[in-house]
Amino acid sequence: LYPEAQPRHSGFLQVSGLHKLYVETYGNQEGVPVICIHGGPGAGGNASHARCFDLKHYYVIVYDQRGAKRSMPFGELEDNTTQDLISDIEQIRKHFNVEQWLVSGGSWGGALALAYGQSFPGQCLGFILRGTFLADKSAVAHIFTHARKQYPEYWDAMVAHIPVDERDDLLCAFTKRVMDPDPAVQMAAAKAFMLYDLSASTLVPNPELVEEIMSDSRVTLGVARLFTHYARNDFFLEEGELISKCNVIAHLPAYIVHGRHDGLCPVSNGYDLHKAWPGSKCHIAESTGHSFAEPGIQKGLVAASEALKRVLL
């Protein structure tokens, strides 16, 4: 990654009567604009995402989606849909007087990047997508059911939190608990889910990364609440929509980076998106899992941003 940098700007943007988003900008204001869209839903923006870009060349905007991390009100589910988040991205673009920008996102952030691009193709210069999450029923089933085959001990630790008679629908069981009015019940369920998610996100166990992220209770609870909210509403998308609408943005450059051993979002997701997007580039990072923290993923993202320097002159 490029060296750490201080934000040029940080503050809040009111996007509705209820919601205001935390936003940071980095780099060259005269450079190629980039919006970095975080995963989760609910994880919040990360300054490290700006380090994928040469800040002498790019102007990078990092933000927290509705209800996530530093945005307010925290954990709020009212007026919090994919369509609301798409509208927010447009408001950010207009607020910073950006005509067109490069759209970058990982995991759920990649799904939202696609949904935004398919709604506003004229505002997009291209895409960098990591760990493709297609926000459909099979994606949720993989996390709660199929990944058990690869991570049985992590899965067992997660479901130990749920009574046996509720384990046939883990999404429902965790939703019930992270939405409970008792904060202690919320956090216990959120920690169980987040520990599983983080443990399965790297190819080689990374307890330091798990501890670092889980030490932030707002990220832990935010992901648990917002992920279950979005998942039980099918991410407010039609089944298969993100692939079926690729023709809308097929004329734009796209770099897809996916870990060969991604246990949360199978590598076939990234490859299927690549096949549906003529002209896209798909880099499968060997010896790598799902997490942005994986060195192979970071190397692939930096290479993508460097390649786009030559395209987006």
107 is known as an active-site residue = yes
290 is known as an active-site residue = yes
**Averaged pLDDT, 176-186:** 96
Which tokens hold the place of 262?
Answer: 């991604």
Give the relative orientation of helices 183-199 and 217-232 as an angle to the nearest 10 degrees.
90
Per cent of the chain over pLDDT 90 is: 98
Residue 313 confidence (pLDDT): 65
Q: Which of 262, 280, 291, 305 is catalytic?
A: 262
Q: Does the pLDDT of residue 246 top 80, yes or no?
A: yes
Q: Does the pLDDT of residue 173 top 70, yes or no?
A: yes
Q: Which of 107, 199, 201, 305 is catalytic?
A: 107
Residue 312 confidence (pLDDT): 84
pLDDT tens-digit map of 117-155: 999 999 999 999 999 999 999 999 999 999 999 999 999
258 is known as an active-site residue = no
Residue 311 confidence (pLDDT): 87
Q: Does the pLDDT of residue 72 top 70, yes or no?
A: yes
Q: Are 223 and 194 in contact (CB under 8 A)?
A: yes
Residue 310 confidence (pLDDT): 87
pTM, to two decimals: 0.97
Q: Which of 280, 290, 291, 305 is catalytic?
A: 290
Please name every residue paired with 257 in a beta bridge, in sequence order, or none if there are none. 130, 283
Return d(Cα 295, Cα 52) in angstroms, integer: 12
